[in-house]
Structure 1
Amino acid sequence: MAVTQVERAPQQGEGPTADQRGRGALGLPMATALVMGNIVGIGIFLLPAEMASFGTVSLVAFVLVSIGAVALAAVFGRLAARLPAPGGPYAYARAAFGDFTGFWIAWSFWITTWAGIAGIAVAWTGYANHFLGWTSTGGQAAIALVGVWIPAMVNLLGVRVMGVIQVISTVAKFVPLVVVSVIGLFFIDPANYGPFNATGGSLLMAVSMAGAVLLFVYSGVESASIAAEKVRDPRRNVGRATIIGTLACSAVYLLCLVSMMGVVPHDRLAGSQAPFALAADTMFGGDFWGAAIAAMAVISGLGAMNGWMMVVAEMPMAAARDGLFPRFLDRTNRRGVPHAGVIAGAVMASLVIIGNFYGAADAFRSIVLLATFTSVVPYFFSACAQLYWLATGARQVSTAKLVIDSVLAALALLFSLWMVLGAGAEATFQGMIIMLLGVPIYTVVKARRERERTTEAVDA
């Protein structure tokens, strides 16, 4: 007979159940598209060139990072089945470790989302400008700002409109990417792959450096769990969408890397700013493909920002409902959209964009690294929450399930630690400073809540 261990279910008040929250608007296809669209943004169009600079050892790093990402996706699926509450990592951390930890996770992830949107918008500008040719700083900044506010307006129209746009944009970018990469398999020349380790350093250092670059391309695995309130039957569909979306993205990434690195000679690929256009021109010739790839990147960037614009409002809304974030972030429009959170996220992203175009470029690169670090903190605490519930449960589970869940949680935790190392010491230091700046906000909000409780008790 199998040994069993109890598995604690979150207590009453730790989050609404699926029944309490009603029927979500996002079915499995839309939820999967949300995950895939948020993971795959502009980065895929630059990834082959970035990986080529490390050599084919980057494929080893890719496998390791992909294993960690899939483990993390599985953990989010398990957590969503256990606690299908809006806010994802925030809800899990708060239920497991209390209000302050929950606030800190929400604060950390909020920074990640609007900084990430700004990063996508700036990269998106280069491709959009392929058709406009605006050379002035003001013109390029305007393009980036339009890239932010179009998805914001789409989100304000409601979750169903956002979901439809997400499905369309996901299909529109994945199909051409896959087609070009599959065709590229027939043009591979093994000599093009170049050296195994092109860094000149140790093998371990090369794997770690390539892994650090790859870390950011999997950001977004938690998207469906954060928007659990908008997902139909979240106990089943959040986990399924997260795992399916992550595995699909892993397959596309691997196909793109193997194909592009084999089609284009190593030295040319490593120095390219548009590796897919270069590969297409190498295969077919002509100038048409640069415009085609730019159009794909424009669609991809808009889709990614569309999904992230939804996520940027969901977690603050969940924290505001629990009295941990300012109340205005809980406000919704007649379509049920947390419009205050969407607008606040768009405004913060716009400020970062303006700072990038009119400030120092190094400052913007630093905030992108900062976003990488702040995304890791919620991942780490989510893995810890899963381990906590596995160790302090209240319902029986089989030994096999306990072992599998424990291994997945441990892999996700180790993956998160590796992501911290990949972000670098400077980004980690800056991230901790900004996270500490959130503590005074928590203090003010908590003090106000305690005063209101005291007043209600006196009135009673």
Structure 2
Amino acid sequence: MTEPKSSPWEAAELTRAGAENPENVTEEIAHGDKLGLPQATALVVGNIVGTGIFLLPASLAAIGTISFAVMAATAVGAIALALVFGRLGARIPASGGPYAYARDGFGEFAGFWTSWSFWLTAWGGNAGIAVAWVGYVNYFLHWDSTLGKIVIGLVGMWIPALINLSGVKNIGLFQLVTTVLKFVPLIFVGIVGLFFLNSDNFGPFNASGDSTWNALWLAAGLILFIYSGMESVTIVAERIKDPARNVGKASIYGVLGCTVMYLLATVAIFGTVAHDQLMNSEAPFADAINNMFGGSIWGGVMAACAIVSGIGALNGWTLLVAEMPMAAARDGMFPKSFARLNRRGAPVVGIIVGTLLSSAMLLFAYASENAFNTILLFASFTTAIPYFFSAAAQLFWLVTGGRQVNKRRMAVDVTMAVIALLFSFAIVYGSGEQAVMLGILALLIGVPVYIWIKAQRGEYGARETTPAAPSTPVEPSP
């Protein structure tokens, strides 16, 4: 299949940046101070691996070893979507990722709706990450009052905001360091734990007490969402060195790395912690290490890893919460202020507004008893929309238009796009009825915003004026 090697999109991005910010075209963008492949891969891994992985094995133990089959199937869907992002990133290496892909395939309204949906995901999901992060910080601080938890959560969100405001170079370095610090101990548990497996620990195939079908989807409802963030590098393509090549590589390497780590760690913990203990564990990784080596210090070690993991995820998602609307704003699909950059090349309005909205969502989470689960499932549904439109845009490009193609590669690409579409459908189904209802309402709110933006652009011409009444002809005098 013939795909362009050059990147006209990248030149267009820089042109738009100059048009929107003639006084603010930054040194990072103009002179190539960008993220290399290691930092780009770290961004993907850092955004996928948040704080949830530290509790996931305990949740899956209550469902049973049927979770392994679901995890393997989910991995196939995630890898297929990563491959689709790789193809799209090579063809359209533009910042905005799913927004750019949807706009290229289906027009500006699909692009707007995709960016709107992802924006909801980013700042809403950040509040969920912050709530989970607070629990691990309190392992050491014990600020158990609601006010204390709110303060910790706000600090956790605004530190990454300040790092993002300081420029892309600092973002990449911070992301690389935090990713290494959290990935190494997790993969250590997964590999070393395989030497301590006890088959008696695994528990029943279906421990949920429900039907196999319901158990499958209950596990899917937990597992499908742990891959959220795989699109990270596509959204900041403008800030990646050689995006036509590295966007796809970083997406695939990041997803593959997380898949291996998830599978190894889950099997290792199931096999080293007794089933009854694991179901009620608040720190399954710490329990696994304690059972492997003895002692009780590992709870603090794993809590520290979770803190690093959470702050790294917040750092990466804060970048995304600003980059997607920035790309849309340059095309006139978001308020122009979101395209404004500071002297270090950071989309300052997007970072500040996104963090303020996350802060408000954090307050809502602590004011409502069940808000945390609602936030996470809502964010899972809204992230499925960009996935769906990205896969659909790739499929649309593959099966339409006249071009010379390699039949074998065509078959592979179409298969991957179809699997990615099914993966997106599965995320929606697994989100549950309440999250889907709230998500649809939030998406519909975006339609009046789109109308307002179009009106501000004056695309429909001048207002109608009342035509002058025809004058009555004067009869000539006889």
Q: Normalising by the residue count of structure 1, what TM-score does the alignment of the two structures yield? A: 0.94
The correspondence for 2:102, drawn from 93, 100, 120, is: 93
The aligned residue for residue 344 of structure 2 is 335
The aligned residue for residue 379 of structure 1 is 387
Q: For the residues of structure 2 that align with 1:313 and 1:398, how far apart are their CA atoms?
A: 38
The aligned residue for residue 413 of structure 1 is 421
The aligned residue for residue 23 of structure 2 is none
Q: Contact 1:7/1:397 (CA < 8 Å) preserved in 2?
A: no
The aligned residue for residue 473 of structure 2 is none
Tell me whether 1:321 sits opposite 2:305 in the alignment.
no
Tell me whether 1:365 sits opposite 2:362 in the alignment.
no
Q: Contact 2:125/2:375 (CA < 8 Å) preserved in 1?
A: no
Q: For the residues of structure 1 that align with 2:455 and 2:14, how far apart are their CA atoms?
A: 32
Q: For the residues of structure 2 that align with 1:16 and 1:55, how far apart are their CA atoms?
A: 51
Q: CA deviation at 1:453?
A: 7.2
Tell me whether 1:441 sits opposite 2:449 in the alignment.
yes
Structure 2 matches for 1:399-410, cutoff 5 A?
399-410=407-418
The correspondence for 1:159, drawn from 164, 168, 175, is: 168
Q: CA deviation at 1:362?
A: 1.5
1:41-78 CA distances to partner (integer Å, 9 max, x unpaired)? 10110111111111111000000000000000100110
Q: Letter of the aligned partner of 1:225 in structure 2? A: T
1:175-226 CA distances to partner (integer Å, 9 max, x unpaired)? 1112223222222110000001111222222222101110110001100000
The aligned residue for residue 204 of structure 2 is 195
Alpha carbons of 1:415 and 1:10: their partners in 2 closer, same or farther (altered >3 Å)? farther
Structure 2 matches for 1:15-164, cutoff 5 A?
16=11, 23=32, 25-164=34-173
Q: Contact 2:127/2:358 (CA < 8 Å) preserved in 1?
A: yes
Q: Contact 1:7/1:391 (CA < 8 Å) preserved in 2?
A: no
Q: For the residues of structure 1 that align with 2:141 and 2:3, how far apart are their CA atoms?
A: 57
Q: Letter of the aligned partner of 1:254 in structure 2? A: L
The aligned residue for residue 266 of structure 1 is 275
Q: CA deviation at 1:9?
A: 11
The correspondence for 2:438, drawn from 426, 430, 438, is: 430
Q: For the residues of structure 2 that align with 1:32 and 1:403, how far apart are their CA atoms?
A: 27
Q: Letter of the aligned partner of 1:447 in structure 2? A: A
Q: Letter of the aligned partner of 1:202 in structure 2? A: S
Name stretches of at least 5 consecutive residues in structure 2 with no aligned partner. 16-28, 464-478
Q: Which of the two has higher C-alpha Rg? A: 2
Percent of pairs with identical residues = 52
Tell me whether 1:219 sits opposite 2:228 in the alignment.
yes
Tell me whether 1:184 sits opposite 2:193 in the alignment.
yes
Tell me whether 1:450 sits opposite 2:458 in the alignment.
yes
Q: Contact 2:7/2:93 (CA < 8 Å) preserved in 1?
A: no
Q: For the residues of structure 2 that align with 1:188 and 1:211, how far apart are their CA atoms?
A: 25
Q: CA deviation at 1:230?
A: 0.5
Q: For the residues of structure 2 that align with 1:146 and 1:293, how far apart are their CA atoms?
A: 21
Q: For the residues of structure 2 that align with 1:51 and 1:70, how far apart are their CA atoms?
A: 21
Q: For the residues of structure 2 that align with 1:24 and 1:411, how far apart are their CA atoms?
A: 36
The aligned residue for residue 286 of structure 1 is 295
The aligned residue for residue 458 of structure 1 is none
Q: Letter of the aligned partner of 1:188 in structure 2? A: L
Give SS of 1:74's match: helix
The aligned residue for residue 21 of structure 2 is none
Q: For the residues of structure 2 that align with 1:441 and 1:319, how far apart are their CA atoms?
A: 13
Runs ≥4 in structure 1, deviation > 6 angstroms? 6-12, 18-21
Q: Contact 2:131/2:372 (CA < 8 Å) preserved in 1?
A: no
1:345-393 CA distances to partner (integer Å, 9 max, x unpaired)? 1111100111111x11223321221111000011001111001111224
1:273-306 CA distances to partner (integer Å, 9 max, x unpaired)? 1111111222223221111111000000011111
Q: Letter of the aligned partner of 2:266 in structure 1? A: L
Bigger mean CA offset, 282-291 vs 210-219:
282-291
Give SS of 2:458's match: helix
Q: For the residues of structure 2 that align with 1:437 and 1:11, how far apart are their CA atoms?
A: 35
Give SS of 1:396's match: coil
Q: Contact 1:74/1:239 (CA < 8 Å) preserved in 2?
A: yes
Q: For the residues of structure 1 that align with 2:93 and 2:362, how far apart are their CA atoms?
A: 34
Q: Letter of the aligned partner of 1:365 in structure 2? A: N
Q: For the residues of structure 1 that align with 2:341 and 2:14, how far apart are their CA atoms?
A: 21
Q: For the residues of structure 2 that align with 1:454 and 1:338, how far apart are their CA atoms?
A: 33
Q: For the residues of structure 1 that align with 2:204 and 2:193, how far apart are their CA atoms?
A: 20
User: RMSD of the alignment, in Å?
Assistant: 2.1
Q: CA deviation at 1:413?
A: 0.2
Q: CA deviation at 1:249?
A: 0.2
Q: Letter of the aligned partner of 1:276 in structure 2? A: F
Q: For the residues of structure 1 that align with 2:7 and 2:344, how far apart are their CA atoms?
A: 31
Q: For the residues of structure 2 that align with 1:318 and 1:59, how far apart are their CA atoms?
A: 38
1:389-436 CA distances to partner (integer Å, 9 max, x unpaired)? 112245422001111110000000011111110001111111101110
Q: For the residues of structure 1 that align with 2:50 and 2:378, how far apart are their CA atoms?
A: 18
1:150-199 CA distances to partner (integer Å, 9 max, x unpaired)? 11111111111110011100100111112223222222110000001111
Give SS of 1:397's match: coil
Q: Letter of the aligned partner of 1:65 in structure 2? A: T
Number of residue equivalences: 449
Q: Contact 2:150/2:362 (CA < 8 Å) preserved in 1?
A: yes
The correspondence for 1:397, drawn from 391, 395, 405, is: 405
Q: For the residues of structure 2 that align with 1:111 and 1:25, how far apart are their CA atoms?
A: 26
